[in-house]
Amino acid sequence: MMRERNPEKNTIAIGDGSNDVNMITAAHIGIGISGLEGQQAARAADYSIGQFRFLKNLLFHHGRENYRRNTYAISYIFYKNILLVIPIWFYGWYSMFSGTQIYNFQLYALYNVAFTSVPIIWFTTWDKEYTPEVLLRRPKLYRIGIENVYFNTVIFWRWFFYAFWQGILAILIIFNTMTSMSPNEAGKSGSMQTAGNFTLTCVVIVSNMKLLVSAYEVTYMLVGTVFASFAIFFLFFWVLTIWDKAADDYGVFVELMG
């Protein structure tokens, strides 16, 4: 009845017995209390607590912070992937949409798996905007979820805009400078592979630094995961560009670092 009356609202149901199971499953979020009436409600619920007084901590502390971190994670994952592909799309206009790949294919495939995955996992698990004491003392802070402050249409397109202009800025600066350089011999322009892989290097650095500057708690572990991601990227970049002498991007890392 409450969902039909307020379709734009999220509902929560709390119960401790078998007669509450239908109510718990019908709500957006169900919370079961383990008690004298058995475990039926707890098993049917999304969350289970031992006592009713734990509800305040579940909602105002864990619930509020999980909403903030998870909505950031969703937006950030869109952001970092848009940032990755915008330079490829923009280079398509440069190259008459020839389908030329400007990144090393293996580095491109490892972007989400190895170079940008661990910092966001750490952020969504441990970042804290406020201490639990502050959150429990100021229930008004819970309104960010009710009002969808961190996840709405405006927020999504703002993230898209960030990624779009940063990606275009990177490829414009890099391709208009590095491809006009002559790193090896006079009269020879810089290679597309060098400029393309340097663009990918900038994308990896920018996407990780965006996460670092957005965190409320800049801990040693968060900084460590970010710089470990950089180290892994540069290691793979070096290995993959000295492995095959017949590859187009052979020696690009050495040339770029020079």
Q: What predicted TM-score, i.e. pTM, was given to this entire model?
A: 0.89
- Structure tokens, 150: 């961190």
Mean pLDDT of 75-94: 95
- pLDDT score of 37 more than 90: no
Position 199 scores a pLDDT of 96
pLDDT, tens digit, for every residue of 188-221? 556 888 899 999 999 999 999 999 999 999 999 9
Mean pLDDT of 18-46: 91
What are the Cα distances from residue 57, in Å, to 52, 53, 142, 157, 247?
Answer: 10, 8, 11, 33, 57
pLDDT, tens digit, for every residue of 110-134? 999 999 999 999 999 999 999 999 9
Average pLDDT, the chain: 92
